[in-house]
Amino acid sequence: MEIDSDNMSSPASNSSPGLFPDLSVDIGGIRLKNPVMTASGTFGYGAEFAELVDLNRLGGIIVKGISLYPSKGNPPGRVVETPCGMLNAIGLENVGLDVLIKKKLPGLKGIRTPVFVNIYGKTAEEYGEVAERIEEIPEIAGVEVNISCPNVKAGGVAFGVDPLAAGGVVKRVRERIKKPLMVKLSPNVADITSIAKAVEMAGADSISLINTLTGMAVDIRTRKPLITNITGGLSGPAIRPVALRMVWQAARAVSIPVIGIGGIMNAEDAISFLIVGATAVQVGTANLVNPGATMEIIDGIEGYLTERNHSKVTEIVGTLEI
Ligand SMILES: Cc1cc2nc3c(=O)[nH]c(=O)nc-3n(C[C@H](O)[C@H](O)[C@H](O)COP(=O)(O)O)c2cc1C
């Protein structure tokens, strides 16, 4: 099913020939008005950012990871700043599916930007159950399946590092939903292409990568880890070169759209992901330091295309010159 998102909400998304470049992209069953989405866990449930960001200008919104039942996540000592980035071990704290549906999603009512729910389960069956409930909500455009959280003991990255397990989860979700299905991959693997191919084979409509890289930080006075969970997920500009390499590799391995994530702080960063083969991008940690980052990135992509006389953003996707 092809869903068309509104593309008349801002001058930047006006695609009249000759005036503004067409920023719209197709990410597997759904058309976005531009390629800039928000990354899960860094933009709350969306409505919290309504006073800081024009939600209708975004290409897409991915809400915080959700599970069947509420979860408190990991104990405090969950975030630490590191050189050019941060470590977090939130552990997928979330309000659970029922509260998401009753209390959080109504806050996004009337928004003309496709909203994806990032889902997580302890078992493949649980992923399927969450997906099935999301399928019933007409306001939700699609699902992003998180098989890559490094901060939880059960599920999460355990599924994302093995092609068979990754394919198994995606197959189970695909059986339950017709909505667009995006699968979020982990960088904590030796060969990203085998995971990317496995989830494509299992029925994913698109893949998004990367989630955070497992890292550590230590307080040398107390000799204790700075993250109570001991390890955490590294995000921000520090991971961008790794993310760019993995997106380039994945984009050459699959034929479904690839969504690039990892340390995107400005338009230049986003454009480099498009050049290596991403059809769209997600902005994460940047939202925490500059809530207007996504707006600046949309404007910057448009400026880059206009300066170079491109009529469509898709003209630069996968144009890396080697
Ligand atoms: C505080 C925090 C919470 C996150 N929570 C989630 C989550 O719930 N689900 C998920 O798939 N990714 C989550 N992520 C990962 C981001 O969506 C993103 O993949 C990662 O941070 C890399 O992008 P960035 O460098 O732009 O932040 C989280 C990241 C941060 C920093």
Options 149, 199, 227, 259, the catalytic residue: 149
Greater confidence, 54 or 155?
54
Give the C-alpha separation, 263 to 209, whole Å.
11
Tell me the per-residue pLDDT of 184-221, one tens digit each, with 9 for 90 and over: 999 999 999 999 999 999 999 999 999 999 999 999 99
Query: Who contacts 137 (Cβ-Cβ below 8 Å, separation ≥6)?
Result: 101, 105
Residue 212 Cα: closest atom of ligand 1: 20
Determine the average pLDDT of the residues in 124-134: 95
129-144 average pLDDT score: 96
Given a cut of 90, whether residue 294 has pLDDT beyond it is yes
Instruction: Say how many Å lie between the CA of residue 259 and the centre of ligand 1.
Output: 14
Ligand 1 atom with minimal separation from the 283 CA? 26
Residue range 46-63: mean pLDDT, rounded: 96
Instruction: Retrieve residue 317's tokens.
Output: 């996707």
Query: Do the beta carbons of residue 190 and residue 152 sit within 8 Å?
Result: no
Contact 245, 196 (CB under 8 A): no
The alpha carbon of 310 and the centre of ligand 1 are apart by a number of angstroms equal to: 32
pLDDT grade, residue 11 (50/70/90)? very low
Kindly state if the Cβ of 261 falls inside 6 Å of ligand 1. Answer: yes
Q: Which CATH superfamily is domain 3-316 in?
A: Aldolase class I (3.20.20.70)
For ligand 1, whether the C-beta of 74 sits within 6 Å is no
Strand 60-66 versus strand 218-219 pairing type: unpaired
Structure tokens at 50: 């309504």
pLDDT at 242 over 60: yes
Distance 284 CA to ligand 1 centre (A): 6
Mean of pLDDT over the chain: 92
Is 118 a pocket residue for ligand 1 (Cβ < 6 Å)?
A: yes
> What's the 238 CA to ligand 1 centre distance in angstroms?
14
Please tell me the predicted confidence (pLDDT) of residue 158.
Answer: 77
Q: Is 6's pLDDT higher than 60?
A: no
String of b and e for 259-278 (b: at least 16 CB within 10 Å)? bbbbbbbebebbbbbbbbbb
pLDDT at 122 over 80: yes
Q: Tokens 């992003």: give the residue.
A: 144
Instruction: Give the global pTM.
Output: 0.94
**What are 90-112's pLDDT values in tens digits?**
988 999 999 999 999 998 989 99
CA-to-CA dists, residue 246 to 143, 242, 277, 285, 307, angstroms? 22, 6, 10, 19, 29
Mutation test residue for ligand 1: of 43, 285, 294, the one with most atoms within 8 Å of CB: 285
